[in-house]
Structures are given as C-alpha cells and as structure tokens.
Chain A
Amino acid sequence: MPVHPAILALIGVSLTVSALLALAGAFAIGVVRHWDLTSGSERQLRLERLTYLIATLVAFAFVAELISLLLLVYTAETLSDQFVGAMCATGVLNANPWGWPALFLKIVVFFSGAAWLTLNRVDTRSRDYPLVRPKYALLLGLVPLVWMETGVLLRFLLNLDPAVIVSCCGALFSPAGQGVAAEVSGIAPAWGLALLYAAALPTLAAAWWARRGAGAGLPLAGLALLHYVLALVAVVSVIALYVYEHPHHHCPFCVLKAGHHFIGYALYVPLFAATAWALASGVIAPWRTRPGLRALVDAETRRLAGRSLMALLLFHAVAAWAMLSSGLRMAGVWW
C-alpha cells in the first residue's frame, strides 16, 4: 500500500466514523429501551440530553463521510500516476476487486445519512418526539452498513499494489469489453439522452408538485432514484463524450480533472444533492398520516422538494451547456 497522507486520512476518517456510529448505536439502544416522554424522571431527562449528542455525532459522521467520498475520488485521481496503465481514478479503483464496491458503499452511506438526518429533523421539530423509536432503529441499521463500508475501504486501500498493471477507463468503459461499464458505454448516445429526459421530466414535475405540499414525497423519491441511475448512464454514454470532445472516451472520472475545468463537480454535486434531498422527502413521507405530524412533514417535504428542484435544474443546465458548447459535432451520426 502506498503510504500517502491522503490514504492515511481516508483510513483515519473511516475508522473514526465507524467508531462514532457504534457509539451512537450504543446510546440508541438505551434510548429505545427506556424512552418515556411523559415521565419527568431524571433518567428521561438524561436520555433527552443524550439525543442531542447522538444527533451531533451522526451529523458529524455524515459530513465526514461526504468529504471523504470526495477525498476517495481525489486520491484515486492523484495516485493514478503510480499505477501502470492508469490515467485517472478508474485505473486505481480497478487495482483490486474492492475499489468499486468501496465507492458504491460510500455513496449509499451518503444517501442513508441524508435520509436519517432529515428524519431526525422532523422528529425534533414536533412536540412529542413521535419518531424516536423508528429513528433509532434505523440508526442501528446504519451501523452495520457503515462498518461494511469501512471494511471494504480498508481492504481496498491496504491491498493497493502499484506493481500490478491495471486497465484504465479506455479499456473498462469501452463498448467492446465486458461488464456493466462496457454495457453502459455501449448504449447509443441518442438512447442515453432520451432515457435521461424521459426520467427527468416526471422527476422535475414531481418535485414541482411536491413543493406545493400534499404528500408527493414517495413518488418524488422513487423517480429521483431512477433519474439518478439514468443520469449516470447518460454521463458515461453521452455527456462525457461531449466534454472530452472525443466519441470514444466514456470515463466518468476524467471530467473531474482540471483540464476540463472541473466540470465534473458542476455535474455530480447538484445530481447527488438533488437525489439526496428527494430521497429524504421520501423517507419522511410514510409518517404523514400520523396525527399531528402532517403539517410538519408537509413543510419539510416542501423545503426538500424545492431544493431538489433547483439542483436538478442546475444539473441539466450544466449538462446541456456541456453538450451544446462542445467542439464535438455528431449531427447526422448520432442524431
């Protein structure tokens, strides 16, 4: 394993986040067992105080996970020079079987954290902590997920061996190859874009509708998830090609490089944010029917849907701009 400070940082953060979640989980068990809001006993007061600590620890862990997701991608980019055959992050992630799972798990943890924090927000804003038990049960479910992510990330980092020759984005994301990446790269650009807009329009509509309240949380979450997947597919099959001005360069990571003005960030950050907000609105939606929570859930849904809408529009604006302002002209070939 290359002993690089960035790798040390990634390991340190993952271990810390796992420990924090474990701690929060231990507190959560205590809360679930003894919680009784009507009691004024000292134990109840102590538990209520503890909820502040748990929420802060989880929020901190979540922010750390978010930044470490960026750090993972960054580090993979930077280390690509040390791996024979790697020209970007893809090569490094290919270095052993744990690279891509580590990335996917980090993304899942990111979305789960966003959902939990929203649930927590709704709970603390209501007069009687109605969501305490489901919330902490969910938290206990997050703990093994985070541990798994740490485990996979550690295996990935500790088994990085620069002596192994890797295949980079040119080989992985080429239609001629095998596997998911190749399949996605092989999708015709026209289809990729068509599917994207087919998902985008209903998602935008759902977000717009959800902004006016009245329980559109779940449909929005579902559509946003579908949109997320299709957006990534579109990036690989169409959008990236325009950014690189090359009809066969499908890599999703090279867009993050300085050479392309870091446009990757302008695409991915809004996409991820929009999806996280939409998923969060879906997570709180089932509790809309609880007495006393309707107004609160609606208000939150409106807030989240509004932000999701903005972010979606931003993503599409950047994507459209990237394609229209590109030097690549494929009219007549793809269209």
Chain B
Amino acid sequence: MPSAFQRQRYLIDYSLMALGRRPGKHLGLLAVYTLIVAVLASVMLFSESLRGEARLLLAGAPEVVLQRLEAGRHALMPASYLARIEGLRGVSGVRGRLWGYHYDPFIGANYTLMVPPSDAPLPGTLAIGAGLARSRGLEVGDLLSLRAANGEPYGLKVAARLDTESELLSTDLVLLSEQDFRAFFGIPADHYTDLVLQVRNPREVHTVKEKLNLVFPDSRPILREEVLRTYDAVFGWRQGVVFVILLGSVLAFVILAWDKASGLSAEERREIGVLKAVGWETADIMRMKFWEGAVISLSAFLLGYLLAYLHVFHAGAVLFAPVLKGWAVLYPDFAPLPSVDGLQLATLFFFTVFPYTLATIVPIWRVATRDPDAVMR
C-alpha cells in the first residue's frame, strides 16, 4: 500500500514541473495575487504599528484629566478646585496644567504651547519640536516671534530643539516657562487650562471618576483608558473601512483566479486527459491542481507580506500614510515599530488565500472529471 505521504510528494513533484513549464501563464496571476496581499498586509501592518505606538505613548499619559466646561465648551479651571481635589480619597496627586494652541499664519499650522511639569525653559526662551524647526527653518539661538493674545508681537529665543525620537508627540510642540505662557495668552495666575490626577489604586479609577462627577458638575473627567480605547477603535475602524473599499479589488482578483483556473488551453486539457488515461484518478488530478494553487498561494503570500513589511517599515508606508494618519500639516518623521501577530496573518489569509482557493475549486473539478477516453477520440 503506497504511503499517502509518498503519493502526495509525487503529485507535488508534478505540480512543480507543470508550473515550471508554463511560467508565463502563472506569472500574471502571481503578480496580481502578490499585489493584493501586499496592499492588504500594508494596511494592517501600518495600522497595527500606529496603534502600538499610540499605546506606548499613552502609557506615559496621566490617568485622569479633569477639564472644566462652560456651555459645553472647554473653559479655564480655577486653582481652588485643586485644593478640593486633594482632599478626595483615592487621589494620590493632582497638578494644574498649562497648555494651549496657537495658529501661525506664516506657515498655516497650529502649534501646541505647553508648560512642562519640570525643567521648564528659562523665562524668555523656549524649546521647539522638530517639525516646527524644519518648517520655519529655526536653529538654536534664533528668535521666534509670535502674536500674543493682546495683539503685540512676543519674542522668545530658541534654547533647545526637542529630540526626534519623540517626534510623533512633539513635532508641533513649543515648551515655555509659566511666566511667558501666562503673559502670552493672558491667563490669570489663579487659573489653569486643566488638571491631571493620579489615582492610588488603578482599579478605583472609575470610582474616582464618579466622585469627581459629583463634586464638580461643571467638569468632565477623561480617563486614559478611555482615550486608549478610542484610539484602538479608530485604528480598527480605519482599517475596516479601507478593507471594505479594497473588497472590490479582491473580487476582481477572485474573478481573475476563476478565469485562469478555467481557461486551460487545448494542450493543457489534453495533458490532463493523458494523465487520466495512463491511470491517474480524478482525486489525484484534483490534488495535483490544488498543490499548484497552494504553491502559487504560498509564494504570493510570502512575497506580498515581505513587500508590505518593507513598504511599511522601511519605506514609511509612503503609499497611503495620509489616509491612515489623519489630517495634519506637520507630519512627524517616525519609524513605526515592527509588529506581526497571528490575528493579522489569519485575517490576511481569509481575505486572500481563502477566496482564491474557493474560486479554483469548481474549475479544477471540471477539468479533473473529464472522461479519460477523450484522448482517444
């Protein structure tokens, strides 16, 4: 009794020989297949790496942010709130933050101005992000002049440039001292932009949130985990939308696969007939053809995935970065972190190899079940 394994090896052998004899016919299909895999994989890899980045960065974000609302819009927070929060049980620390946006008509971009919690620049100086530095051609020692809230120009010297490793966060960031900030924006000394809290026990975050809601009905607490969840959802949603859009091309690919599998030349049909006539079973022919498909699928999958990997992690996903990153005038230059996971691969498999194989079943069956005596007529 021949071993089933040995038999499959012979069939694979024939499949490879058959593929090798007609490279041209299969190259077209392989190219399209690889492209489909590459595009879908790129979308997934890029989104996942952005998601991963966002997570890493948010890990350092404050657990709870308290913002005051006036008529539904963000308003300044009085310093007296700080004292009231310090007394709440479960809160291990609270701090006022000063930050704001400034529109620079010169390059049409929004800057984020912020007073850092420690190591603030000396009064009269500031630190700027790399994107900003690039767009306005600024170096350390240059003077940056911006229009303050009172309409007068406010000049500050560039004391430092924020390093490029944190570009995703800091590209449009301007750090300055508290004094300069309050003078620039005209914010009185007893007000802050918002407050950040630390909670003693992470599991009590929701309880603290409820307490804050009770004590400060005019403010809303924003939890870090909520931000994380929103980012996750947005990235997943964006991927989903792109996939839905690409479904059209997957469908076209499936039709192509069906066509290629059905469109055997007279020569190929004769070949199958000969194989059957000399004693190959229908099942052998079908398996041999499925092995052909498997070789093509495997090659396309590996090649496509490799291309996607190179595209995303070495070429910065140039082809569709704008769609997935969102609108911004100042693009950070950052290298996404490579991450591959099983879910991605499985999903990719179902969007590419699964429909391809399905499309080839009926054509392969049709070919394999032709009568062997057809070669004699």
Please list the residues of chain A having a beta carbon within 8 angstroms of any beta carbon in chain B: 2-9, 12-13, 16, 20, 49, 52-53, 56-57, 60, 64, 67-68, 70-71, 74-75, 77-79, 81-82, 84, 162
Q: A2-B236, A4-B240, A5-B239 are in contact. Are A81 and B229 (CB under 8 A)?
A: yes
Q: Determine the residue in chain B with the shortest Cβ distance to A57.
A: B361
Minimum Cβ distance to chain A for residue B242 (Å):
9
Kindly state the separation between the CA atoms of A162 and B229 in the bound complex, as whole angstroms: 9
Stretch at the interface among B187-195, B262-270, B350-358: B350-358
Q: Are B357 and A5 in contact (CB under 8 A)?
A: no
Q: Is the CB of B241 closer than 8 A to any CB of chain A?
A: yes
Asked if residues B351 and A5 are in contact (CB atoms below 8 Å), the reply is: yes
Q: Which residues of B contact A (CB under 8 A)?
A: 44, 228-229, 232-233, 236-237, 239-241, 243-244, 282-283, 286, 342-343, 346-347, 349-351, 354, 357-358, 361-362, 365, 368-369
Q: Hey, which chain A residues are within 8 Å of B244, CB to CB?
A: 3, 8
- How many Å lie between the Cα of A12 and that of B349 in the bound state? 12
State the Cβ distance, B196 to closest chain A Cβ, in Å: 21
Since A5-B44, A12-B350, A52-B286 are in contact, a sample of 19 more A-B pairs with Cβ atoms closer than 8 Å, ordered by chain A residue number, is: A2-B233, A3-B241, A4-B236, A4-B237, A5-B240, A8-B243, A9-B347, A9-B350, A13-B350, A52-B282, A53-B369, A56-B286, A56-B365, A71-B346, A71-B347, A77-B343, A78-B343, A82-B236, A84-B229
Chain A residues with CB below 8 A from B282, complex form: 49, 52
Please judge, given known A-B contacts A4-B236, A81-B232, A82-B232, whether A74 and B343 are in contact too, CB under 8 Å. yes
Chain B neighbourhood of A13, CB < 8 A? 350, 354
A-B contact count (CB 8 A): 85
Are A71 and B350 in contact, with the CB atoms below 8 A? yes
**Residues on A with beta carbons closer than 8 Å to the beta carbon of B228:** 81
Taking CB atoms, residues of chain B closer than 8 Å to A5 are 44, 236, 239-240, 243, 347, 351
Chain B residue at smallest Cβ distance from A64: B354
Q: In the complex, which of the residues A6, A53, A64 contacts B347, with contact meaning CB atoms closer than 8 Å?
A: A6
Of all chain B residues, the one with the shortest Cβ separation from A19 is: B358
Please, which residue of chain A has its CB at the minimum distance from the CB of B228? Answer: A81
Query: How many Å lie between the Cα of A3 and that of B247 in the bound state?
Result: 14
Using Cβ atoms and an 8 Å threshold, which residues of chain B touch A52? 282-283, 286, 365, 368-369
- Residue from the list B347, B350, B358 in contact with A60, Cβ < 8 A: B358
Expressed in whole angstroms, the Cα–Cα distance for A287 and B193 within the complex equals 80
Q: List 24 A-B contacts (CB under 8 A).
A: A4-B236, A4-B239, A4-B240, A5-B347, A6-B347, A7-B240, A8-B240, A12-B351, A13-B350, A49-B282, A49-B365, A52-B286, A53-B362, A56-B365, A60-B361, A71-B343, A71-B350, A74-B342, A75-B343, A78-B343, A82-B233, A82-B236, A84-B229, A162-B233
Question: Which A residue sits closest to B349, measured CB to CB?
Answer: A67
CB distance from A100 to the nearest CB of B (A): 20
CA distance A20 to B350 in the complex (A): 16
Q: Which has the most chain B C-beta neighbours within 10 Å: A4, A74, A78? A: A4
Residues of B within 8 A of A82 (CB): 229, 232-233, 236
B239 partner residues in chain A, CB cutoff 8 A: 4-5
Tell me the minimal C-beta distance from B116 to chain A in angstroms: 29
Contact of A3 with B369 in the complex, beta carbons under 8 Å: no
CA distance in complex: A4, B368 (Å): 39
Q: Which chain A residue lies CB-closest to B370?
A: A49
How many angstroms between the C-alpha atoms of A92 and B272 in the bound complex? 50
Given the complex of chains A and B, what is the CA–CA distance between A12 and B247 in angstroms?
A: 11
Q: Is A53 within 8 A of B350, CB to CB?
A: no
Which A residues touch B236, using CB under 8 A?
2-5, 79, 82
Which residue of chain A has its CB nearest to the CB of B287?
A56
Q: How far is it, in angstroms, between the C-alpha of A12 and the C-alpha of B346 when the chains are bound?
A: 13
Closest to B48 in A: A78
Tell me the smallest distance from the CB of B235 to a CB of chain A, in Å: 9
Q: How far is the CA of A94 from the CA of B70 in the complex (A)?
A: 38
Q: Which residue of A is nearest B368, CB measured? A: A52
* Measured CA separation A320–B292 after assembly (Å): 42
Q: Tell me the smallest distance from the CB of B1 to a CB of chain A, in Å.
A: 10
- Taking each of B229, B244, B354, which has the highest tally of chain A beta carbons within 10 Å of its own beta carbon? B354
The residues of A that contact B358 with a CB separation of less than 8 Å are: 16, 20, 60
CA distance A56 to B241 in the complex (A): 33
- Asked if residues B343 and A6 are in contact (CB atoms below 8 Å), the reply is yes
Q: How far is the CA of A162 from the CA of B231 in the complex (A)?
A: 13
Q: How far is the CA of A79 from the CA of B240 in the complex (A)?
A: 13
Cα distance A75–B341 in the bound complex, in angstroms = 12
Q: Which residues of A have CB within 8 Å of B241?
A: 3
Is B346 within 8 A of A74, CB to CB? yes
The reply to whether B361 and A56 form a contact with Cβ atoms under 8 Å apart is yes
Q: Please measure, in the bound complex, the distance between the C-alpha atom of A84 and the C-alpha atom of B209, giving whole angstroms.
A: 14
Please judge, given known A-B contacts A4-B236, A4-B240, whether A49 and B346 are in contact too, CB under 8 Å: no
**How many angstroms from the CA of A101 to the CA of B241 in the assembled complex?**
28
> Once the chains are docked, how many angstroms separate the CA of A51 from the CA of B234?
47
**Are B350 and A2 closer than 8 Å at their CB atoms?**
no
Give chain A nearest CB distance to B296 CB in angstroms.
17
The distance in angstroms between the C-alpha atoms of A260 and B347, with both chains bound, is: 23
